[in-house]
Structure 1
């Protein structure tokens, strides 16, 4: 089972696959080290090498080796932690001993080799005093903060789920047979892992973290990190929208600008390394929060229960996409990130508004279908252009998809299963330079400042 709390994880920016995943992997490696270790070396491959510095993979590795975790590290403390490591070149291990690690020399970006399982690969090595290698571990960051260890068993704890499903056809069949909604099916499975109170509290925490990220993004201005010198726009956009609203002369189309502003606020926070929620990735972290904020601020049906239906329905759709295709830009391009997030948001929004299971599935299908083929080509290896605006458009398309699906009766020609499989095949056919490497598309056709 892929839980809602696997897909929605509170962490830091700028990338779930390049920041959150590597930090988790480095922390896991650190926890396995014996006292005899005196030096550590890390090698990054594929997309982690090509866009690692712009996406913060190097900083994440260092933080993980220092014992930090994405959900707990304070973004305001990161600069000091990294400065101290650069000065001491020493990692304190769990047992109290110390190991040498110089980020400038012991963190290697391998731009030539690819490891077999996934483009986002990391090799960790630990050495004894005589130079002998004590431990070697390979981890893969497979998108959304999920990490797999090479050679480790993928079998988890056996759980008896009331309603296991592997396809949207399975899911809709369960809904027909039981009378449950898609959110109801996902909730029943979540309750196999935790209590109803815990589910509700955790869903509310996710919503609160999303809204807090929007609020912070709307307050701050300045220039985003990196060589592009991209100005933060969300605060200015909000001021213009509020001024326009006071004149009573705003047009109906300005609702799109509100949604865009919410999404941009989140992704500007993500680009600065702020606290965000993977939804299902950091690169697409603005879409679901923007649609939720639109639901709260502009729709009369908003309630805590409706938000929980939204997130549970989105999680059910996200689990199907992750199971049967990918949510990793390095694996299938941005269709797997923004496309997946828009599909999840469309399904969640439709569910929150009372759509039937078939309408929810239709909303998810429409949103995903119209992101097929989207490449991941970040300029300068940064999650700024085209990533930030791409989230704004993904959020608006999600709302449009939900609205269109609810105008129908749920009957449609293309199923969600078919469009997910098409996304998987399209990602497999896509040239690697268009999959989060910054070696194709906008990344090479726009001059970096």
Structure 2
């Protein structure tokens, strides 16, 4: 049976908020389109470009910054390194000059108001998150390319055919949780060790560790920044940031000057249940408030669910003696593999499966990672992932005004707490008596996604998005 080789760095991508599928994906699609123009050697012949946004990209694209992402991509900017503080100035320049410099080399006329079209009533059959680039060349020729942002920053070009000869062959091919457990039993390795052996097919182990450390660095910087930034979130809902006030209240004037001393100040507050609960919520709020503010985040497995895994990992580091490099790497490797299995067996796109595909999957990933790191067996680790997802089944995606704010930010706190609870349940249980397998719950999640009404799949056409009468001051 063939398998899809997905690396830890496919699941965890450094990018810019607020959405992996509606911001990072379209940004990457624009970059891929530039590559296509360069390969065809026609970049300098481009006369004009029109961008068509379909389905969910159109309906919630304004709140998700889709048009902004497309423009930054067409400019050739890298979402990993672009200074997010310059986004507003860059957009103002394009809007005022009505010009865009493709890949930083070729200037053409471009008016975002005219040349980016939101097709609210049209959707392409392959995936709700579709965008098409229409190009006219100076010689009179025209052509179009369509891309699909399928969740978690993954992008597929229409008509693309994989070259199986170039596919990475992993020593331990995995499509399902049963496959993963098979390799664990056969080799005696835990899940993170199996994952590392597979990662060695891409690169040396030291490079993988270096990359995972870089992922955690962005996560913790995002969390720390979110806990120290005041004000309202952009977009017009005037949602007040809560991470700053909660952080200040919980610390009770204990002093610190950087991330390391901050974590120590938190640890000095003790381990009262309510205290820990508040901190887990604070960590998750902080990350997703940064995400909602076009901050730099890590897809985990998506931007909308980016706060769950950092919050649970930070809980493990501060309150469970997890503050070592090896433990952090082990946590993230385990989490990534569970996310890969969900992507292969169902989806990590809210536009396909509702919020169960984002918060639910992130909670399952975090639950599994925490369980392995807390000494759980391989079966208990997979059991924890199953428990976490089982209690997110059917969760809809209904963002108010198409913004990744309400209910998205609070949902990250719920996902983090459920992950910790799922871990504790699994550690205190015998998986041999479990009635539901992880593969069974993944299939159920996918069946539920297929049955779910499209208005609950990141369209803002149902649920809270239409029942909460909040007026926008800017949108």
Q: Per the shorter chain, which TM-score range?
A: over 0.9
Partner of 1:426: 448
Tell me how far apart the structure 2 counterparts of residues 359 and 322 of structure 1 sit (CA, whole Å).
21
Partner of 1:140: 148
Q: Tell me the SS of whatever aligns to 1:38.
A: strand
Superposition pairs of residues 219-234 of structure 1, within 5 angstroms:
219-234=228-243
Aligned length: 448
- Given the alignment, which residue of 303, 326, 330 partners 2:324? 303
Q: State the Cα deviation string for residues 134-158 of structure 1 (Å, max 9, x = none).
A: x200000000000000001134622
Partner of 2:417: 396
Q: Does 1:111 align with 2:120?
A: yes
Q: CA RMSD in A?
A: 1.7
For structure 1, the 5+ residue unaligned runs are none
Alpha carbons 2:75, 2:104 under 8 Å: kept: no
Partner of 2:31: 27
Query: What is the CA distance between 1:95 and its match in structure 2?
Result: 8.7
Q: Does 1:89 align with 2:98?
A: yes
**TM-score normalized with structure 1 length:** 0.97
Query: What is the CA distance between 1:94 and its match in structure 2?
Result: 4.4
- Given the alignment, which residue of 173, 196, 210 partners 2:205? 196
Alpha carbons 1:38, 1:98 under 8 Å: kept: no
Tell me how far apart the structure 2 counterparts of residues 154 and 416 of structure 1 sit (CA, whole Å).
29
Query: What is the CA distance between 1:263 and its match in structure 2?
Result: 0.1
Query: What is the CA distance between 1:324 and its match in structure 2?
Result: 0.7
Partner of 2:373: 352
Change (3 A) 1:52 1:395: same
Segments of 4+ moved more than 4 angstroms: 244-251
Partner of 2:260: none
Alpha carbons 2:135, 2:144 under 8 Å: kept: yes
Q: Does 1:174 align with 2:183?
A: yes
Tell me how far apart the structure 1 counterparts of residues 104 and 411 of structure 2 sit (CA, whole Å).
45
Q: Does 1:39 align with 2:60?
A: no
Q: State the Cα deviation string for residues 225-270 of structure 1 (Å, max 9, x = none).
A: 0121000000101112122999989952231111000000000000
Q: Tell me the SS of whatever aligns to 1:142.
A: strand
Q: State the Cα deviation string for residues 347-385 of structure 1 (Å, max 9, x = none).
A: 011111121100100010000110000000000100000
Q: State the Cα deviation string for residues 289-329 of structure 1 (Å, max 9, x = none).
A: 00011111111243211111111111111110000100000
- Given the alignment, which residue of 135, 143, 162 partners 1:154? 162
Q: Tell me the SS of whatever aligns to 2:146.
A: strand
Q: Which is worse superposed, 222-231 or 298-307? A: 298-307
Tell me how far apart the structure 2 counterparts of residues 78 and 368 of structure 1 sit (CA, whole Å).
36
Tell me how far apart the structure 1 counterparts of residues 62 and 228 of structure 2 sit (CA, whole Å).
27
Partner of 1:365: 386
Alpha carbons 2:74, 2:103 under 8 Å: kept: no
Partner of 1:437: 459
Q: Does 1:268 align with 2:289?
A: yes
Partner of 2:6: 2
Change (3 A) 1:118 1:249: closer
Change (3 A) 1:153 1:250: closer
Alpha carbons 2:28, 2:73 under 8 Å: kept: yes
Q: Does 1:14 align with 2:43?
A: no
Partner of 2:72: 63
Query: What is the CA distance between 1:87 and its match in structure 2?
Result: 2.1
Change (3 A) 1:382 1:94: closer
Query: What is the CA distance between 1:413 and its match in structure 2?
Result: 1.2
Q: State the Cα deviation string for residues 191-214 of structure 1 (Å, max 9, x = none).
A: 000001101101111111111000
Q: Tell me the SS of whatever aligns to 1:82.
A: helix
Alpha carbons 1:378, 1:438 under 8 Å: kept: yes
Tell me how far apart the structure 2 counterparts of residues 154 and 372 of structure 1 sit (CA, whole Å).
32
Partner of 1:121: 130
Query: What is the CA distance between 1:7 and its match in structure 2?
Result: 0.4
Tell me how far apart the structure 1 counterparts of residues 354 and 205 of structure 2 sit (CA, whole Å).
36
Tell me how far apart the structure 1 counterparts of residues 315 and 94 of structure 2 sit (CA, whole Å).
42
Partner of 1:335: 356
Tell me how far apart the structure 1 counterparts of residues 374 and 271 of structure 2 sit (CA, whole Å).
25
Partner of 1:257: 278
For structure 2, the 5+ residue unaligned runs are 255-264
**TM-score normalized with structure 2 length:** 0.92
Tell me how far apart the structure 1 counterparts of residues 46 and 357 of structure 2 sit (CA, whole Å).
39
